[in-house]
Amino acid sequence: MNLTLNKDFFIRNRKKLFLLLPNNSISILFPAEEFSRNADTLYKYRQNSDLFYFSGLKQEKTIILLHKTENQEQEYAFIIEPNEKMLIWTGHKYSIDEAKDISGIKNIFYLTEFEKVFQEIYNPDSLVYYSMSSNVRGLIYENKIVAAWKESLKNEEIQYRDLDTFSMQLRLQKEKEEIDLMQIAIDITGEAFEQILKFLSPGIYEYEVEAEISRWFIKNGVEAHAYSPIIASGKNNCVLHYETNRNLCKNGDLLLMDFGAEYNYYAADLTRTIPISGKFSNRQKQVYSSVLKVLKEMKTKFVPGNTIRELNKECELLIQEELLKLDLLTEADIKNQEDDKPAFKKYFMHGLSHFIGLDVHDVGKKDTVLLPGMVLSCEPGIYIAEEGFGIRLENDILVAENPIDLCSNIPIEISDICK
């Protein structure tokens, strides 16, 4: 299967953005930086998600310029001018026609034209929009360009505005083709998990599990993990962002795996916790049942109108109830807790949910009102450091009147994950 987004999708996204932008605005989308690892070796490149969302252009050093006046909406893209040397070292770069075909933008220029075009469309009343908070945009570019403006505009004050609220608003609600891509990412992630269910036994190292997951991803056309996979056995279950993945998986311990494929720039985010031997102890089974119960209850609440903040509150009460049943808390602990230090926090120290999309921790805030088409994680957990294990379960949920669990095909019942 090879599903990609075509230019109609990107054209539509820009149309939606133009509707939100005021007249006499210039929006600039900067590319992600190329991050150096050392000397002339770079980390694998991934385009800034906003720039991709509005153009489909994955190539480095690409800039998008959107100009809205009372009478017209003009779109420009600026790309690398390919030369012989690039062809030898890094291979093919977009031609003008290719960039047009991918993005649907008619005015494609080489980068050297950027300043000239900007000067042509800029006037002292222009509002200049760009992302002010993305940490993966091209800061070097931006600084260079902003310095050039300042120089050419002398003492004029440029009126900057933040593009992030607009791109967030649009990216939050997914179109059908985006959900389809996310479903593919999730399905491949789920299949990788099923491989691990067959593969895992005591004596295997965490990195061997990671290797199996990566093998399955690459074999299925996935370009990258959506984030560094967490493959945590035994007491590492309780390290929330564990990613060293070097330990031995031991008999009697649990393996917590939090991982997800990125398929065509869209992320999956899955967590499963399974017994390394294939069998839970009674205590492990008790705690697993508690977390699964909370997940099942909470995933029905991803309905329009709700917020992550509200979901967290509801989830915390459910977890608290389970902690009482598991004899981890007493009524007195809860009664005596300080407002800013609730007792449950000892065993459940993170939030229930975040938005997922082009980024695994996608745009969106705790108070963003949920609307149909938004996708979020649902990931309750109970971590008991003193007993040497923790359990987290995570599925990806599509907001609807009857919320849709996009991970519903991935084994989670005790009978399906035990031998």
Q: Which is nearer to Mn ion, 269 or 316 (CB)?
A: 269
At 223, the amino acid letter reads E
Give the Cα separation of 315 and 342 in Å (integer).
13
Q: Which is nearer to Mn ion, 206 or 394 (CB)?
A: 394
Q: Which is nearer to Mn ion, 262 or 269 (CB)?
A: 269
Rounded to 5 degrees, φ, ψ at 191 are -65, -40
Provide, rounded to whole angstroms, the least separation between the CB of residue 249 and Mn ion: 22
Q: Which is nearer to Mn ion, 76 or 266 (CB)?
A: 266
Provide, rounded to whole angstroms, the least separation between the CB of residue 20 and Mn ion: 28
SS3 59: coil
Give the Cα separation of 178 and 103 in Å (integer).
16
Q: Which is nearer to Mn ion, 344 or 355 (CB)?
A: 355
Q: Which of 94, 102, 32 is nearest to 63 (CA)?
A: 32
Q: Which of 21, 19, 43, 18 is nearest to 33 (CA)?
A: 43
Q: At what angle do helices 164-172 and 7-20 cross, to 10 degrees?
A: 130
Burial of residue 4, with CB atoms counted within 10 A of its CB: 0-12 exposed, 13-18 middle, 19 or more buried: exposed
Q: Which is nearer to Mn ion, 57 or 375 (CB)?
A: 375
Provide, rounded to whole angstroms, the least separation between the CB of residue 360 and Mn ion: 7
The binding site for Mn ion (CB under 5 A) comprises 269, 377
Burial of residue 331, with CB atoms counted within 10 A of its CB: 0-12 exposed, 13-18 middle, 19 or more buried: exposed
Q: Which is nearer to Mn ion, 26 or 319 (CB)?
A: 319
Give the Cα separation of 329 and 55 in Å (integer).
52
Provide, rounded to whole angstroms, the least separation between the CB of residue 189 and Mn ion: 12
Provide, rounded to whole angstroms, the least separation between the CB of residue 168 and Mn ion: 18
Give the Cα separation of 353 and 359 in Å (integer).
14
8 Å CB contact between 381 and 390: yes
Q: Which of 185, 199, 196 is nearest to 227 (CA)?
A: 185
Q: Which of 134, 120, 141 is nearest to 163 (CA)?
A: 134
- For 377, the token pair is 């994680």
Provide, rounded to whole angstroms, the least separation between the CB of residue 326 and Mn ion: 23
Provide, rounded to whole angstroms, the least separation between the CB of residue 136 and Mn ion: 18
Q: Which is nearer to Mn ion, 264 or 377 (CB)?
A: 377
Q: How far, CA to CA in Å, does 247 sit from each of 151, 225, 234, 236, 392? A: 55, 20, 9, 9, 19
Provide, rounded to whole angstroms, the least separation between the CB of residue 270 and Mn ion: 8
- For 147, the token pair is 């310095």
Q: Which is nearer to Mn ion, 60 or 379 (CB)?
A: 379
Provide, rounded to whole angstroms, the least separation between the CB of residue 394 and Mn ion: 5
